[in-house]
Amino acid sequence: MLASGILGYSAETLESIAEGGAGAVVTKSVGLKPRKGYTNPTVVQVSCGLINAMGLPNPGIDEFAEEIREARTSLEVPLIVSVYGYSEEEYATVARKAVEAGADAVELNVSCPHVKETGSEIGQDLEILAKVVSKVKSTINRPVFVKLSPNVTSIADIAEVVVKAGADALTAINTVKAMAIDTETTIPILSNRVGGLSGQAIKPIALRCVYDIYERVKVPIIGCGGVTDWRDAVEFLLAGASAVQIGTAIATEGPGVFKAVSHGIEEYLKVKGFKSVKEIVGLSHRS
Ligand code: DHB
SS3 (DSSP) at 243: strand
Q: What is the mean pLDDT of each run of 10 residues along the chain (287 residues)?
A: 88 90 96 97 97 97 96 94 97 98 98 93 94 98 98 97 98 98 98 98 98 98 98 98 97 94 98 98 95
pLDDT of 272 reads 98
Q: pTM, whole model, 2 decimals?
A: 0.97
pLDDT of 271 reads 98
Of 56, 82, 84, the residue with max ligand 1 atoms within 8 A of its CB, to mutate for a pocket test, comes to 56
Of 9, 50, 83, 114, the residue with max ligand 1 atoms within 8 A of its CB, to mutate for a pocket test, comes to 114
Domain contains 3:
no
Tell how far the Cα of 58 is from the centroid of ligand 1, in angstroms.
Answer: 11
pLDDT of 153 reads 96
Q: What is the DSSP string of 79-144?
A: EEEEE--SSHHHHHHHHHHHHHHT-SEEEEE---SSSTTSTHHHHT-HHHHHHHHHHHHHH-SS-E
Of 4, 9, 52, 108, the residue with max ligand 1 atoms within 8 A of its CB, to mutate for a pocket test, comes to 52
Tell how far the Cα of 93 is from the centroid of ligand 1, in angstroms.
Answer: 21
Residue 113, ligand 1, Cβ within 6 A: yes
Report which protein residue has its CA nearest ligand 1's atom 10.
56
Residues 203/148, Cβ–Cβ less than 8 Å: no
pLDDT of 6 reads 87
Which structural domain, as residue segments, surrounds residue 242?
Answer: 11-286
pLDDT of 9 reads 74
Domain contains 220:
yes
Residues 130/106, Cβ–Cβ less than 8 Å: no
CA gap 212, 226 in Å, rounded: 18
Residues 15/74, Cβ–Cβ less than 8 Å: yes
CB atoms within 10 A of CB 206: 27
pLDDT of 209 reads 98
With CA atoms as reference, report the closest residue to 171 among 207, 231, 220, 129: 220
Burial 218-234 (b: 16+ CB within 10 A, else e): ebbbbbbbbbbebebbb
User: Which residues lie below 8 Å from residue 123, measured CB to CB, with a gap of 6+?
Assistant: 110, 111, 129, 148, 149, 152, 158
Domain contains 60:
yes
Residues 104/140, Cβ–Cβ less than 8 Å: no
CA gap 135, 138 in Å, rounded: 5
Residue 56, ligand 1, Cβ within 6 A: yes
User: Which residues lie below 8 Å from residue 127, measured CB to CB, with a gap of 6+?
Assistant: none
Report which protein residue has its CA nearest ligand 1's atom 5.
112
Tell how far the Cα of 216 is from the centroid of ligand 1, in angstroms.
Answer: 26
Number of domains in the chain: 1
Report which protein residue has its CA nearest ligand 1's atom 7.
196
Tell how far the Cα of 196 is from the centroid of ligand 1, in angstroms.
Answer: 6
Domain contains 188:
yes
**48 catalytic, yes or no?**
no
Residues facing 45 on adjacent strands = 50
User: Which residues lie below 8 Å from residue 40, measured CB to CB, with a gap of 6+?
Assistant: 191
With CA atoms as reference, report the closest residue to 137 among 163, 112, 111, 160: 163
Domain contains 6:
no
Residue 54, ligand 1, Cβ within 6 A: yes
Domain contains 4:
no
pLDDT of 68 reads 95
Domain contains 110:
yes
Query: Residue 23 sits in a domain of what CATH number?
Result: 3.20.20.70
Q: Edge-to-edge strands of the sheet including 176-178? A: 43-46, 49-52, 195-198, 176-178
pLDDT of 269 reads 98
Domain contains 279:
yes
Question: Rounded to whole angstroms, what are the CA distances from 248 to 137, 253, 256?
Answer: 29, 9, 13
Radius of gyration of the chain (CA): 18
CA gap 153, 129 in Å, rounded: 16
pLDDT of 10 reads 84
pLDDT of 249 reads 97
